[in-house]
Structure 1
Amino acid sequence: MALNFHQLHIFHTVAEKGSFSYAAQALHMTQPAVTMQVQSLEDYFGTKLFVRSTKRVELTEAGRTLLPFASRSIELMRETDIRMSKFTHMLEGRLHLGASLTVGEYVLPRLLGPFGQEYPNISVSMKVINTKQILEEVLSHQLTFGLVEAEVHHPDVHTEAVLNDELKLIVPRRHPLAEREQIGLEELAKYPFILREQGSGTRKVMEEELARAGCDVSALKIVMELGSTGAVKSAVEAGLGISIVSQSSVKHEAALGVLQVRNVEGVSFARSFHAIYLNSTLLPISAVTFMTFLRERDLSQWL
């Protein structure tokens, strides 16, 4: 029997999860299949890799020795996919991903056309929900990976930046603040404010940056919390308040002049859109190819 990467990946996942059943769930395998592959690896090396107990499995000395090599093999496989994805123009398959609302409604639709022209045999299926929901579905294995608006911190999830973005203040056309290019931070509290819902990546970034600049978010006159950027824009356009949203989401309204886009003095709302997926997941080559496309192409020509 030859040593193979699949067995090393399974071994690494069992070690990471501390459980054959949790590893099986993460790998979309049955528990007996996971056990069999680990036993085959133990037979190959002629030694036990885990000490099994009723509550948890622990690495033996041999298992602790093997673990860093398994980790390196996984990273090498991921790097191999990234490097080779540049050449996979005839790749076929289905790309299924989750995208948070701003990414899914305003950014990716402008990029899927160019991506489809370059990779015509990859079909795309996209689920648009907020960042919190995407994280939940990645953790529950309903989504393989997602693109979200704020960095996610979770021990089981890998996060990497793939796109840059910036939030801007938006005001109605005839609003008092529309006459000025730069808006003072203290002036935000003077006007009704419209926010995205809790769990939104846009809201998280906005609150973090305002707090960093010394602005107490609770001091804002919050009159509405809405579940989509489109609803926020419509409410601002109707004169119900002001808001802070992704500049990529208001290009059309700014061009028509129905919304005015302004900077807030002393505050930079620069951010990155992030890809998230489980640490134990090796992404399909179609997903790796898509993320390579986002990272390495000049996207400004389409956004």
Structure 2
Amino acid sequence: MNFHQLHIFYTVSERGSFSAAALTLHMTQPAVTMQIQALEDYFGAKLFDRSTKKIMLSEAGRTLMPFALRSMQLMRETDQAMSAFTHMLEGRLQLGASLTIGEYVLPRLLGPFGREYPNISIMMKVMNTSQIMDEINKHQLNFGLIEAPVSHPDMVIEPVMGDELKLIVPQGHPLADQTEVTLSDALGYPFVLREQGSGTRRVMEEQLLEKGLDPAAMRIVMELGSTGAVKSAVEAGLGITIISTSSVKHEVALGLLKIVNLTDASFKRQFYAIHLKSTLLPISAVTFLTFLRQHADGQ
């Protein structure tokens, strides 16, 4: 018996068939079957009930499953602990990132990561959460970085870095000369917002509801499908907005936009890493996520 066989056993159970497990593990179906048979020979017991179309764990398989889970968790913890010593790593990472993360957060971190790990190349796709999950399921991406937690039975979702939304106003706006304002003061002005369903919009609306305020009562003059479009509209004086501080650093430095603190509201959130439960991330991916956790505060 070895860890590889336990990983295959877990993946077959998680994916529900030998063919699906083979796809996840990048193996042939006969190779998966051979490893399961070797494990069954080792224990002298059948691990799966193959009498139905979807294979099910036998009593012996159900007994083995907690140990397989523990072995996978130990391997993940080992990779994370060792990622601090892996500066000579080589490889190619394929990841998906939602809009704010991919366009504004990661670019500031990819340079330092590349200098520290020059032999790891990164291919990043910027897309929405559902697209990221679909490509992970199809094994076209190693993992994804998303702006809001999701629930999926086949996926591991874990926080990886924090973010904060703030009130953003254009130069010359009545609120631009104030360092702090109340939420009710801000809501008296027209807003330009991200579209319904975006992670940014959801965080803002949830906080308003917690404060007993109806998001529908906001004076929304424009809803736009990208943070860049929102910033341009605010710069043009069409309204004010609430978006990630990560996305406006350049405009704030140029004096085009200003961050105004709200005295009675805080729009904090987490960014999350997501990947298949049945997939052990390559050590290069573990190293990348560890790097993000360690350097996110300074991005």
TM-score by length of 2: 0.93
- Runs of 5+ in structure 2 lacking a partner? none
The alpha-carbon deviation at position 299 of structure 1 amounts to 4.7
Question: Structure 2 counterpart of 1:201, which letter?
Answer: G
In structure 1, distance between residues paired with 2:271 and 2:49 = 41
CA contact (8 A) 2:168 2:240 kept: yes
Q: Does 1:195 align with 2:179?
A: no
CA deviations on 1:95-147 (whole Å, 9 max, x unpaired) are: 22111111111111111111111111111111112333223322333222011
Q: Which deviates more from structure 2 when the two are superposed, residues 120-129 or residues 218-227?
A: 218-227
In structure 1, distance between residues paired with 2:27 and 2:186 = 52
Q: Which deviates more from structure 2 when the two are superposed, residues 146-155 or residues 73-82?
A: 146-155
Aligned to 1:45: 43
Structure 2 CA distance for partners of 1:241 and 1:98, relative to 1, 3 Å: same
Q: Does 1:9 align with 2:35?
A: no
Q: 1:117 aligns with which of 115, 118, 143?
A: 115
The alpha-carbon deviation at position 23 of structure 1 amounts to 2.8
Aligned to 1:248: 246
Instruction: Trace 1:1-303 onto structure 2 (pairs within 5 A).
Output: 3-297=1-295, 299-300=297-298, 303=299
Q: Which deviates more from structure 2 when the two are superposed, residues 251-260 or residues 22-31?
A: 22-31
Q: Which deviates more from structure 2 when the two are superposed, residues 69-78 or residues 45-54?
A: 45-54
CA deviations on 1:49-91 (whole Å, 9 max, x unpaired) are: 0111333222111111110010000001111111111111111
CA deviations on 1:121-178 (whole Å, 9 max, x unpaired) are: 1111111123332233223332220112222222222111221211111111122222
How many pairs were matched up? 299
CA deviations on 1:8-40 (whole Å, 9 max, x unpaired) are: 111112222333343334334444433232222
The alpha-carbon deviation at position 246 of structure 1 amounts to 0.7
Structure 2 CA distance for partners of 1:221 and 1:132, relative to 1, 3 Å: farther
In structure 1, distance between residues paired with 2:21 and 2:222 = 43
In structure 2, distance between residues paired with 1:277 and 1:60 = 27
The alpha-carbon deviation at position 201 of structure 1 amounts to 2.1
Question: Structure 1 counterpart of 2:42, which letter?
Answer: Y
RMSD (Å) for aligned C-alpha atoms: 1.9
Where 1:271 maps in the other structure, the secondary structure is: strand
CA deviations on 1:220-252 (whole Å, 9 max, x unpaired) are: 222322222111101111111211111111111
- Runs of 5+ in structure 1 lacking a partner? none
CA deviations on 1:266-300 (whole Å, 9 max, x unpaired) are: 22111222111111111111111111111234751
In structure 2, distance between residues paired with 1:243 and 1:168 = 8
Where 1:218 maps in the other structure, the secondary structure is: helix
The alpha-carbon deviation at position 7 of structure 1 amounts to 1.5
In structure 2, distance between residues paired with 1:10 and 1:160 = 23
Where 2:281 maps in the other structure, the secondary structure is: coil
CA contact (8 A) 1:188 1:220 kept: no
In structure 2, distance between residues paired with 1:249 and 1:297 = 17
Where 1:177 maps in the other structure, the secondary structure is: coil
CA contact (8 A) 2:208 2:215 kept: yes
Question: Structure 1 counterpart of 2:155, which letter?
Answer: V
TM-score by length of 1: 0.91
Structure 2 CA distance for partners of 1:23 and 1:208, relative to 1, 3 Å: farther
